[in-house]
Every structure is written in C-alpha cells, then in structure tokens.
Amino acid sequence: MIALDLLPYFLLIVFSALVSGFVAMRTYQSRRKVARAASFTTMALCGSLWMLLTALNTLNIDLAWKEVLWWLIPFALLSTLIGLFFFTLEFSLRLKQIPKVILYSTVVTTLVIVALSVTNYFHHLMWTVSEVNGRYFQVMGKLFLVQLAYTYLLTFSSLILLIRAFLLSKGILRRQTGLLLVGILIPVLVSLITEVFGWEPLPNIDLSAVSIVFTVVFFGFATLRFNVFYLLPVASDMIIKNIPEGILVTDGDGLVIFSNPAVQKMIGKGETQINGHPVMKVLAGWLPEALQVWNEGKADVQLVSGEEHPQFFHLTNSPLAGNANESIGHLFMLRNNTEQMNYENRLHELAIRDSLTGSYNRGFFFEMANLYFNQMLRASKPLSVLFIDLDHFKRINDTYGHLMGDMVLQKVAGVCRSLVRTPDIFSRYGGEEFVLVMPETALQHALLVAERLRAAIESLKDKVEGIPVTASIGVVETTGETGLTLDILLNRADEAMYSSKNAGRNRITAWKND
C-alpha cells in the first residue's frame, strides 16, 4: 500500500512514465520516417520502466519485493542512459551503427553492475537495508560508487557529444541541437543538485527518475515535430555518401579522416585501407600522377588510368580553414569524367574527320600541316607530302553508281590509314583526292610509302565487287630554299600527281624542279 502523503508523488512519477511511454510509442511508429529512432525509443521505453519501478519503490511492500525492485531499477536506469548515449553518439558523429567496442563495453559493464545488485544479498557491497517506521530503505554500499560513476560517465559523455554537435552546427541545425541540449541538461542539473550537493526539495521522490521525462519530451518534440533536425544530417550523409564524386578529407597532418564509397570504388580500396593512412600513400597507391596535387600544391589535375580502356579522372584539392583561417586539413574531390571526355573526344573527332571516309578533313589537315611544316623548317628536318588522286573515278560513279563510288572511297581511305604512321596526317582533300603529310621523312622513304599505298589501292579490286581501282600519286619533299611555303609544297605535289596521270596513271612521280 502507499501512504496518502506519498500519493501525489506516486501519481507524478506514473504520469511521467506514461508520457515517456507515449513518446516512445509515437517514435517507434514513425521509425521509417525518423532517423535514429531505435536508440531514442530504447531510451524512452527504459526511462518509462525506470519511472514505473521508482513509483513502485514508494509502495510499502515486503523487503523481498523491495530488493527485486532494487535489482531492476539499476538495469532500467543504465539502459535509459545507454539509449541516451547511443542516440547522441549516432547523431553527433553521423554513425549508422554503434561501434562494436562501445556496444560490447557498455553492455558488459551494465550486466556486471546488475549482477552485483542481484548478488547483493551475499556481499552487501551495493547496499544495506535500513528500516524506518516499518518502511525499508537502501543505504548505499561501497560498490554503489561504481554504478554512480558509470551513470555520470554515460550522462556527461552524452552531454559532451551534444555540446560538440552544437558548436559545429549552424542555422536551424544548431537551434535544434540547442533544444536537445536543454533536454539533457535538466536531468544533469537535477542529479547534481540532489546527489552531489545533497539538496532534496522533494525528499520522498526520486527527482532523477522524474527529470528524465523532460529529456524524453524535448527529444521527442525535436524528433516528431521538427524532423528536419534529423533530416538535415541524414540528407548530408546521403549526399556525401551517395554522390558520384569521390571525397577524401584529411587532417592538418595529411592523414585521411574520411572517405566516401565513391572514392573507395574509384581507388579500389576499402575504408580501412584509406582512412587513417597518409593521403600521399593513398594517392600514390592508386596513380602516382595524382601526387601532383599534393606534392606540387596544384589545385586540380586531369588523370588517365589504364591503356586499353582508359578512364579519365579530375582530381581537385581544396584547403580547409578553421575559424581563425588556419589550415586544418584538405578536401579532395575525385570525379570520373570518362563519359564526358569520351563525348568531347567524339565531338572533336566529328569536327576533324571527314564524315564519309573517316579520314581527317581538309580544315584539320591545314591546321596540322602548317604546324608540321613550320616545325620542320625551324629544326631543318625533312617533311614530305603525297598527293593521291583516284584514276577514272568519275567513270566508277557513272558506271556503278554513287553508292558504289562512296564504298570505293571508304575502302581506299581505310587501307591508306592502316599503312601510315600515327604522327602522319592522312586527309581527304576533296572529291577523290587524298593528301598525306609525313614529318621527318625524306623523299626516298616517302617514295617507298607511296609505292605501298599505290599497290594497296590497286589490290582493292576484289573488295569492291571487281571494280578496278588505281591511283596516281605525286611526291614532294621540303627544300632549304628561301620563301618556301606549305601552299607551294602542295602545288608541287599536285603537279607531280598530274605528271603521273599524264604518264599513264597508276604510278608515282616525284616532283622535280625543271
């Protein structure tokens, strides 16, 4: 039974327990929409249980039942504080799950304290029993200080985590963090007033148990009414962890303190192989060229990985500054821009290629030919030009049709491209005319190349449905004469080509100064 003078306190504690249970139920129902609902629900439910057990402890019942309550109350109290600690830990550090070492250590410590309470009958180190006016009370023993220290450790750890989150947050997130701070400060202050300073304005009631309802209500209000408090950090987590750009964050010493899944996939290493390691080692293990942004202080570099199927990456390095503009670390962003580079390369190819034959077009030919020509003149090195014209091409078009004529042009261009060097510029000059510029190539070698091309073109007959295909080729080499230009060189190659035509076609002629 309960004494009448304790009835108001009993009802107050029960009411607080019901409020805590209601908030826990609402949070659990909204768990799919509310982040970190599991740890909060654990805190609220265990807090409700703690309050109910405290209410039952006010009843005048047998000592045996009292001791059962004294076993259960520490378990409910510590479970409440563990839920609070896990909640603040998840929030302040943006954790998806509690680290195993923290989880196991808190669970084991709680079980040890509960075990000491259950076995108190044998050692009386947690409490002894005192009887006053027929009512039983606990007198705290030596080992009870362990439980007290552990409760303060959990409480103040939660407080410190929220203070840290408050200092690091801004705007609405900071206001919401402040709301949580108020919620946790109330039971902290009540506990300090009653247990440290010994002031008990309501001596017949456990104010610590009642005060936890304020934490539950404040936290629940922020959770259910201002879910933006959760959505902002959750959205930040989702954005950072799900964006296609890779992110590396280092401290002032160059150690990686954060890496998102995108950068782990690009670099090909797991989180444990990146986080905690020097960024120089991480970048060098991926692509040595990436070290330029660190060693040379570059803001960004364009990187290429692989040869057969190259991947293109853009790596940027942005310094991070603290409140006093001091350097506190670096933010690296790695973007795979292979698709963009391939698209740009494709556009470039379309701009410089002839749409029918796939050879370089006339515009790109003059751009590169002028570049090569000026380079060869400055270096006093030879440069040769071949002018190629298909014989009787009009007859092919008239006899076999323009579609067949187009196929002939494509076959001729394809076989010629397969026989020239990478630096050489093979271009469709116009109609059935092609031109080849060969840097660092003397006349004698150019004539050998011309003969290979002529023979290859003549051998195409079987690949174009028996249509005879031949070409007349003119060859010219740069000389050391004053006033020589690319246009003059092309005119000479053209004259040599017409000499091949006049000599009977399907042959090669080198230009000579008559």
- Catalytically active residues, by annotation: 432
* Residue 507, token pair as written in the block: 């042959």
Handedness of CA 53, 59, 65, 66 (dihedral sign): positive
SS3 for 258?
strand
SS3 for 82?
helix
* Residue 111, token pair as written in the block: 């079980």
Residue 193 buriedness (CB in 10 A; 0-12 / 13-18 / 19+): middle
Q: What is the DSSP letter of 58?
A: T
Handedness of CA 179, 181, 182, 187 (dihedral sign): positive
Where b means 16+ CB within 10 Å and e means fewer, 396-435 reads: bbeebeeeebebbbebbbebbbeebeeebbbbbbeebbbb
Q: Do the beta carbons of residue 137 and residue 129 sit within 8 Å? A: yes
**Cα separation, 256 vs 93, whole angstroms:** 16
Q: Do the beta carbons of residue 428 and residue 357 sit within 8 Å? A: yes
What is the crossing angle of helices 338-352 and 362-379, to 10°? 90
Where b means 16+ CB within 10 Å and e means fewer, 286-312 reads: bbebbbbbbeeeeeebebebeeeeeeb
- 319 backbone dihedrals φ, ψ, rounded to 5°: -70, 145
Q: Do the beta carbons of residue 335 and residue 246 sit within 8 Å? A: yes
The DSSP line for 412-461 is: HHHHHHTTS-SSSEEEEEETTEEEEEEET--HHHHHHHHHHHHHHHHGGG
